[in-house]
Each structure stands twice: as C-alpha cells, then as structure tokens.
Amino acid sequence: MKILSGTSNQKLSKDIAKQLKLKLVNTNIKRFADGEIYIEINENIRGNSVFVVQSTSNPANDNLMELLLVIDALKRSSAKNITAVIPYYGYARQDRKVAPRTSISAKVVANLLTNAGASRVVTVDLHAGQIQGFFDMPVDNLFTTPLFAKYIKKKLKSKKLICVSPDVGGVQRTRGLATRIKADLAIIDKRRPRAGQSKVMNIIGDVKGKTCIIVDDIIDSGGTIVNAVAALKKAGAVDVYVFITHAVLSGAAVDKIKESKIKKLIITDTIDNSKKIKNNIKIEVLSISSLMAEAIKRIANSNSVSDLFN
Ligand code: R5P
C-alpha cells in the first residue's frame, strides 16, 4: 500500500501518511510554461494499492486535472488498484439539472475519474449522498459528525444547545449531529433568489435563549451562514457556533465572518486554508487526518469502514 499526494493539500497528505507510518510516494508534479501539468512517479509502484490524496478545491480545474493525470500515470505504471482519496469533492453542487440545458458536473467528474482508471473513491461529507450512484465502483463517504460531536461535548456541553440546519437540504446531516449530542433541531427555510445569493425566509423551531450549532457541508461565499446567524440572533439565540466540513471561503468570505455575529466557525482541513485564516481567532480548524488514515487502513485491510461511525 502506498500514499501519493497531489499538490492541493500536501499538509493533510503528510499528516495522513504520518499516521499510517508511511512515506509519501516520490513524485515530480510540475507545470509547463503554458499551465499544462506534468506528472512523473519516481519509484516503482507495480502491483501496489495506491491511495492518491487530492482535494479538487480552488483552482478546481487544475486540481482535478492533476488528479486525473496522476491516476493515469499510476495505471500506466501497473498499480494493482488506485483509490482516489478526495477529501473535498468539488463540482458536487451541480448534482442534477436545476434548469433546462444545464450540466450535471458531479456526474462528469465521476466519468472522468472512472475513465482515468480509479478503482475506488474515498471522500468526506459528499454534498449529496446520491453522487455515489454516479460511480460504478465503491465510494466510501466519510462523515465529520463524530468529530464535531466530540468537540461540542468537550467544549460546549454546559450550554442549552439546539442544532440548526441552514437549509432544508442539510436536515439529515443536522439531525445526525443533534441525535449524537442529544440536542433539539431547528431548520432555516432558505431561498436563493439567484445563484450566489441567499435569503432567510423563516426559522422552523424555537431558538430563543439557546446556543445554536449550525452544521453544513460547505461554506463558500459565506452568504448562507452570515444570513443564518443574523436571523438566529434576531430570533433570540444567545450565541451561534458554526461547524463546516469544507471551507471553500471564496471572495470576501473570511472578512464577512470576521464582521458577523458568529461566535466561532469550526472547519476541517479538507481544504488547505492555512494562509487565508492565519491569525483569525474566530476560525478554528479540526483535522480529519486521523479519520482518513483509519479509513484508508480499513480499506487496505478489507475491514468495515462504516464501523467507524457507529
Ligand atoms: C448548499 O446547498 C451548501 O450546502 C452550502 O450551504 C452552500 O454551498 C454555501 O454557499 P455560500 O457560503 O456561498 O452561501
């Protein structure tokens, strides 16, 4: 078994490899002057099970292409099987036709990974679970709920808690966390007047006098969360903590968070944000490296992955 890192999140890859007591595969990944990607694998991987760690975060197209070329290089080097470990699976939000004549990007990415030669995918908190069905190969979707629940039990247990889903699509995820920490559930009725804009219509549930825990898979522009926090505070919430798996944090998101009434934003390291959030006391990062390393170990040993979440 070998672990190979793309360039999108090398810190996470190193942490995973360290926990597995492995060295990362020696590679040469570089860009030609015109931006094309060159991949060379500097060691024999014939007959090995290789796990390639690469988030398809910003720059999404470059990181995706790099992942595809690494998989192709491994296939042509006679790896026994190739697992694409994609902590953040980009392009997942276009998972169905939302309007006539639009594309389903999550399916296109699945086809690309399949055709490049991946034999399995491991990812974290897929935007929509049904994306697994876009692949005709095993997809292990790992969950951050236990990680978030552990943090909440340790740091916020004395408070009167309520878990809040920032939109109807996130109810299942939020209910999972609420059940684990034995808290109530509230739901925000969010509308998107147009792409990239969000509006809170209603809050379903009583948040008055309570500490709210918002949980979501992605924070991108920050609009959904900042509006949700403002609405919850207006409805009488004491404090609002926000737990997000994939911190895309595009544009002015970090500034928006700084200026908002969020008590704390807790994110994971599926995307490397170390430069963006440096010295930001409102944002805390929980590492998913142990979870990923344990899942990889179990896959390599043909043990259950779902047992990790029971
Ligand atoms: C939407 O369904 C996702 O779960 C997130 O709520 C959304 O992507 C967040 O985007 P933004 O931060 O730009 O509002």
224 Cβ below 6 A of ligand 1: yes
pLDDT tens per residue, range 157-211: 888 999 999 999 899 999 999 999 999 999 999 888 877 778 878 999 999 999 9
pLDDT at 198 (0 to 100): 80
Q: Which residue has the higher pLDDT, 193 or 255?
A: 255
pLDDT at 197: 77
Residue 45 has pLDDT above 90, yes or no: yes
Distance CA 154, CA 164 (A): 19
Closest residue by Cα to atom 2, ligand 1, is 169
Portion of the chain with pLDDT greater than 70, in percent: 100
Angle, in degrees to the nearest 10, between helices 145-155 and 171-181: 40
The share of the chain scoring above pLDDT 90, in percent, equals 94
Q: For residue 303, how far is its CA from the centre of ligand 1 (angstroms)?
A: 34
- Please give the domain boundaries of the chain with CATH numbers for all domains: 2-143+290-309 (3.40.50.2020), 145-287 (3.40.50.2020)
> Could you identify the atom of ligand 1 that is nearest to the CA of residue 170?
4
Cα of 125 vs centre of ligand 1, distance in Å, is 13
Q: What is the per-residue pLDDT for 194?
A: 79
* Tokens (6 digits) for 80: 């026994």
Backbone region of residue 215 per phi and psi (left: phi > 0; alpha: psi in -120 to 50; beta: other values): beta
Least confident residue range of 87-96, 150-159, 229-238, 291-300:
150-159
Higher pLDDT, 157 or 56: 56
For the chain, give the mean pLDDT.
96
Q: Using CA atoms, how far apart are residues 220 and 210, in angstroms rounded to an integer?
A: 26
- Does the beta carbon of 218 lie inside 6 Å of ligand 1? yes
**pTM attached to this predicted model:** 0.96
pLDDT surpassing 90 at residue 81: yes
Q: Residue 36: its pLDDT value, please?
A: 98
Give the pLDDT mean for 141-147: 97
Task: Give the distance, in angstroms, between the CA of residue 238 and the centroid of all CA atoms in the same chain.
Answer: 28
Average pLDDT of the segment spanning 43-52: 98
Report the pLDDT value the prediction gives residue 305, as an integer from 0 to 100: 97
pLDDT recorded at residue 310: 84
Q: Which residues are catalytic?
A: 190
Ligand 1 touching residue 174 (CB < 6 A): no
Q: Please state the atom number of ligand 1 nearest to the C-alpha of residue 224.
A: 14
